[in-house]
Structure 1
Amino acid sequence: MPHTLDISTLPTLDLSWLDGSAAQRQAFLEDLRHAARDVGFFYLSGHGIDAGLLQQVQDHARQFFALPDSEKVAVSMINSAHFRGYNRAASEITRGQPDQREQFDLGAEREPLPLQADSPLWARLQGPNQWPQALPQLKPLLLDWQRAMTAMSLRLLRAFAEALSLPAGAFDRLYGDKPNEHIKLMRYPGQASTASQQGVGAHKDSGFLSFLLQDDQAGLQVEIEEGRWIDALPRENTLVVNIGELLELATNGYLRATVHRVQSPPQGSERLSIAFFLGAQLDAVVPLYPLPTALLREARGPASDPLNPLLRDVGWNYLKGRLRSHPDVARRFYADALTPQNPTRQALGA
């Protein structure tokens, strides 16, 4: 097992090895377990997502961000109780500071849940997306990509179960037929050296697995150990994968949710990236999975921020993050969840 001081670049894993020889499959599972524990990030090649589809997704994301402001503002997130839609740069907050990126958030295309007086607040999160009228081809394209990414990511999650000596379907019941699929298109405009360089501030992802499709502009950095950052440079034909906090929680910290950030590109350039986040059903509760004794000895316990505690209730955990990141949407649609002292206290029943 490498010490973090010896790690200077993210490891690369080839998902096609799962369908290779018995030796290749075993090697993949061992490499997956070590990468997810020691780093929490890795490049994934051989993922099976069509290269043409990935190129189309990037091309259409650029077309979206090139639309006139009026077209983008027409699908602003402030219109959506489900936290879906467009945000200008500096609209999302990470660790109290604005992120210098514009973005378009999408989720699973589902009807809103019927709400009763005693419905949990997180039930408001499910609902339809907003789509720009000027790009009618964007909806079928991104929903196709979402389906492909969900199938691939669930396959990888089952490999994680095997790598941890759990039954291959150990995580399946958390997802059922309504996994929490989240797509984020992101454009980072170039910044002058005297301006804020927070493309997105240092954070951990809150779900289970995250996948990032990068263009050729650097910017993503991973905190491999406290205070030491390494670059996750763009690498052709790969996705960057990282562990979310709920998977760390489910394995008592054996798997690692790692702090990461994006530095703004230099003035005169831009960075485009597209993220897919796989989360469990909103009504799921994440158990503590029974790892073998040998793995339990190496589990470090989940690292929870006292100011932003992890919750095993998936819906509440997801809502908590949305309320913090998008205070304007929170004020409009979740006023009953807010208090002056702590904007999430009432929502969490504290």
Structure 2
Amino acid sequence: MPHTLDITALPTLDLSQFEGTAQQRYEFLENLRHAARDVGFFYLTGHGIDGALLKQVQDLARQFFALPDSEKTAVGMINSAHFRGYNRAASEITRGKPDQREQFDIGAEREALPLQPDSPFWARLQGPNQWPESLPELKPLLLDWQQAMTRMSLRLLQAFAQALSLRSDAFDQLYGDKPNEHIKLMRYPGQPVDASNQGVGAHKDSGFLSFLLQDEQAGLQVEIEEGRWIDALPRENTLVVNIGELLELATNGYLRATVHRVVSPPPGSERLSIAFFLGAQLDATVPLYHLPTALLREARGPASDPLNPLFRDVGWNYLKGRLRSHPDVAQRFYADALLPQAPVRKTA
């Protein structure tokens, strides 16, 4: 394992090598395992997502953010018990401080679950998205991209399983036919030099895998070791991939969920980025996978924040993050979940 002081840039992996020769496949799996353990972040090329589709997604995202405020707030997240929709800048909270970005959240397009008095609170998370009426082409395009990203990311998860000497289908039980797919369109406006530069505060992602499509404006930073950050500079037709906390939990900390942040762009500029998060089914429970002895020796244990503990129950873990990040939606639709007598899940 390289010393963290030797890491000055994110590694680059080519997913097409996973389908290449036996030697290419072996080298890819070795590089994947080391990148995910030593850094927790990497650039992904050869992902198979059409560059024209990526450009269309970016173009329509810009068109969405250019809509009048009245049209964006008409699909505000405050209207959705499923945490779907638009938020103005400074609406989402990370580590107690507002993030200076506006955003639009989309999940899997599914019917709301029928709720019973004893239904878990997280059952309210599933449901339809909100879509702006004046931009009808946004829905089919984002849902097409969502499905393309899901297919690609599940293939990458099979590669992760093999890199860890597990069965290639080891993670399949967590996804079934209803993976928790989440898209976030994000626009970071330029900030005055005397204002907060927290585009989004330092955090770890809570799911399994995250993919980020960046425009040309820098801003994403990765904490390689405590207090030392490196820039994840934009690269054309390349996705930035990082490990989420649940994958770290599933491997007892062998794979690394790394703290990262986005610094606001300077005045007169803006940053557009689009994230895709792959999570397990809401009713799944994350097991502890049995890694080979050689890998277990290198497992560091999951680094759970005492103020933000991890749950193996996927639905509860996902809901916990939503409630913390969006207190206005929490108060409107989950006031009963915030009561002192509300059920408490055991931490991992």
Give the structure-2-normalised TM-score: 0.98
**In the alignment, is the contact (CA less than 8 A) between 2:32 and 2:163 conserved in 1?**
yes
Q: Report SS of the residue matched to 1:25.
A: helix
Distance in 2, matches of 1:33 and 1:236, equals 24
After superposition, the C-alpha distances for 1:216-258 in whole angstroms (9 at most, x for unaligned) are 0000000000000000000112100000000000000000000
Partner of 1:12: 12
Distance in 1, matches of 2:345 and 2:304, equals 18
- Displacement of 1:348 in angstroms is 2.8
Partner of 2:111: 111
Distance in 2, matches of 1:60 and 1:347, equals 41
Q: Report SS of the residue matched to 2:118.
A: coil
Distance in 1, matches of 2:78 and 2:107, equals 15
**In the alignment, is the contact (CA less than 8 A) between 1:338 and 1:347 conserved in 2?**
no
Correspondence for 2:344 among 340, 343, 348: 348
Gaps of 5+ in 2: none
Partner of 1:123: 123
Q: Report SS of the residue matched to 1:247.
A: helix
Distance in 2, matches of 1:323 and 1:299, equals 30
Q: Report SS of the residue matched to 2:224.
A: strand
The residue correspondences of 1:74-93 to structure 2 (distance < 5 A) are 74-93=74-93
**In the alignment, is the contact (CA less than 8 A) between 2:316 and 2:345 conserved in 1?**
no
The residue correspondences of 1:176-191 to structure 2 (distance < 5 A) are 176-191=176-191
**In the alignment, is the contact (CA less than 8 A) between 2:54 and 2:237 conserved in 1?**
no
The residue correspondences of 1:2-151 to structure 2 (distance < 5 A) are 2-151=2-151
Distance in 2, matches of 1:57 and 1:72, equals 17
**In the alignment, is the contact (CA less than 8 A) between 2:282 and 2:314 conserved in 1?**
yes
The residue correspondences of 1:236-247 to structure 2 (distance < 5 A) are 236-247=236-247
- Displacement of 1:346 in angstroms is 2.8
Residue 270 of structure 2 aligns with an amino acid whose one-letter code is E
What percent identity do the matched residue pairs reach? 85
Partner of 1:225: 225
- Displacement of 1:20 in angstroms is 1.0
- Displacement of 1:347 in angstroms is 5.1
Residue 246 of structure 2 aligns with an amino acid whose one-letter code is L
Residue 296 of structure 1 aligns with an amino acid whose one-letter code is L
- Displacement of 1:102 in angstroms is 0.0
**In the alignment, is the contact (CA less than 8 A) between 2:57 and 2:141 conserved in 1?**
yes
Residue 344 of structure 2 aligns with an amino acid whose one-letter code is L
Distance in 2, matches of 1:266 and 1:318, equals 33
- Displacement of 1:259 in angstroms is 0.1
**In the alignment, is the contact (CA less than 8 A) between 2:311 and 2:345 conserved in 1?**
no
**Does residue 326 of the first structure (1) align with residue 296 of the second (2)?**
no
Q: Report SS of the residue matched to 1:139.
A: helix
Distance in 2, matches of 1:206 and 1:158, equals 20
Q: Report SS of the residue matched to 1:145.
A: helix
After superposition, the C-alpha distances for 1:10-31 in whole angstroms (9 at most, x for unaligned) are 0000000011111000000000
After superposition, the C-alpha distances for 1:97-116 in whole angstroms (9 at most, x for unaligned) are 00000000000000000100
Residue 20 of structure 2 aligns with an amino acid whose one-letter code is G
Distance in 2, matches of 1:294 and 1:349, equals 32
After superposition, the C-alpha distances for 1:80-139 in whole angstroms (9 at most, x for unaligned) are 000000000000000000000000000000000010000000000000000000100000
Distance in 2, matches of 1:70 and 1:8, equals 44
Distance in 2, matches of 1:112 and 1:171, equals 25
Instruction: List 4+ stretches of structure 1 deviating above 3 A.
Output: none
**In the alignment, is the contact (CA less than 8 A) between 2:85 and 2:129 conserved in 1?**
yes
After superposition, the C-alpha distances for 1:313-334 in whole angstroms (9 at most, x for unaligned) are 0000000000000000000000
Aligned residues: 346
Q: Report SS of the residue matched to 2:59.
A: helix
Distance in 1, matches of 2:83 and 2:5, equals 39
Distance in 1, matches of 2:146 and 2:135, equals 17
Residue 146 of structure 1 aligns with an amino acid whose one-letter code is Q
Partner of 1:289: 289
Q: Report SS of the residue matched to 1:33.
A: helix
Give the structure-1-normalised TM-score: 0.98
Partner of 1:338: 338
Residue 74 of structure 2 aligns with an amino acid whose one-letter code is A
Q: Report SS of the residue matched to 2:114.
A: coil
Distance in 2, matches of 1:348 and 1:278, equals 25
Distance in 1, matches of 2:281 and 2:186, equals 24
Gaps of 5+ in 1: none
Distance in 2, matches of 1:69 and 1:13, equals 40
**CA RMSD, 1 decimal:** 0.9
